[in-house]
Copies of this chain bind each other. A is one copy, B any other.
């Protein structure tokens, strides 16, 4: 049933969000706490994302593989910072059938350790490098914080790329190149502008030299991490004993990267584009780009026949459609259902359209209506592109209004506490200072810009010590 969304986005973002993702049939709760079901409507958005990203990765030589779901505790603990970072949130298998296992097995929270154990067998010579491998799988983290559909769950659909290089420069380039792919995906497919940067010491990945991130701006002035890419240096090649003979026959430790993006990007999309009527999907990612809604009143059979013809023609043009041909609900119900599911364009077809050989078109973003002659039906393609572009530029404008440079310590604390703005300020970057900012404001540093830029002030906004760079601060999901 197309029940509407009965919470306003501006009043209670999280309740609104839960209703939207569940009632649109993207996801659902499951019989197990903290684990979601990804229903066909939501999963198809992920499939389209996978297709886009997979071809980007393959274009630079990355190949897919699959490594075990379970990781013996002894392997998981090999890199010390890494295990420290993950241990509290690992789910453990302790029984196989009726037998207690000798060693506990972790459900992969991420696969660095089990993959690099294999890499140490496979890599012998510089001819084996670069090794560029990705996997599409799920990871399990026993979140103790409240879970949120798509945004934070105990099992997460994602990809994890793990590459090995001869030089530090190659590794760093790879980490940055993949970050650009993630940015392109967010912008071109999801119509979400993101800011790319580096993570602070406290916020970076357990075991990384540098973590790169892309972050999106939400309507409540939170920021949300959409993907990360890590330069691991030789922090893993050493404990995992990955070595290669270079061209001069010297044994060397290689440099590594790992990088990942998850279905959380889709949760962020819902948060940014959705409105009080429900989902709003950018045409490039939408399972259905047009909803065809026949008005089944006068000349029912002929109207249905015409609707079929329109449907077929749109499919021929490569446009994804859904035909709402049920006769047990009203046209109004169908329009609302299409809006709740975020379908970019509604096409109404009744007696009038039949007689004038036209279609009546309304867009989801503005409900702007127009009549198009059947002979001009290919204009729908242009309209979809216009919608896609408008959604990105509009989201960019919204995001820019939410970010402010701040030099005053007092205002910095006050505005972060109250979610008034996302703040950009000069900062010392130390974990101690970050801990105190978090305790006082609830916010953390989200990113440090990739390109060096002029300091907003020479002193750290919070502790007053010498500032090292500018950084963005916000609360986050």
Using a CB–CB distance below 8 Å, which chain A residues touch chain B?
28, 30-32, 35-40, 43-44, 46-47, 63-72, 75, 87-98, 104-105, 107, 114, 117-118, 121-122, 127, 133, 137-138, 140, 142, 144, 155, 157, 326, 328
Contacts and interface: CB of A to CB of B under 8 A. Distances in A.
Given A31-B71, A32-B105, A96-B142, 12 more contacts: A28-B122, A31-B68, A31-B75, A32-B75, A40-B64, A43-B63, A44-B63, A69-B140, A87-B97, A91-B96, A93-B93, A107-B107
A93 B133 CA distance: 29
Q: How many copies does the complex hold?
A: 2
Contact of A88 (B36, B37, B90, B97): B97
Nearest to A263: B66
A346 to B, nearest CB: 21
Most chain B Cβ neighbours within 10 Å, of A31, A63, A89, A142: A31
Q: Is the interface of A mostly helix, strand, loop or mixed?
A: mixed
Contacts of A66: 37-38, 43, 46, 138, 157
B91 A95 contact: yes
Given A68-B155, A127-B326, A97 B144 contact: yes
Contacts of A71: 31-32
Contacts of A65: 37-40, 43
A68 B144 contact: no
A97 B104 CA distance: 12
A65 B263 CA distance: 13
10 contacts: A28-B118, A28-B122, A31-B68, A37-B66, A40-B64, A69-B155, A70-B155, A91-B95, A91-B96, A97-B142
Contacts of A107: 69, 93, 107
Listed from nearest, the 8 A-B pairs whose CB atoms lie closest are: A40-B63, A35-B68, A96-B142, A92-B95, A38-B66, A31-B117, A94-B94, A97-B142
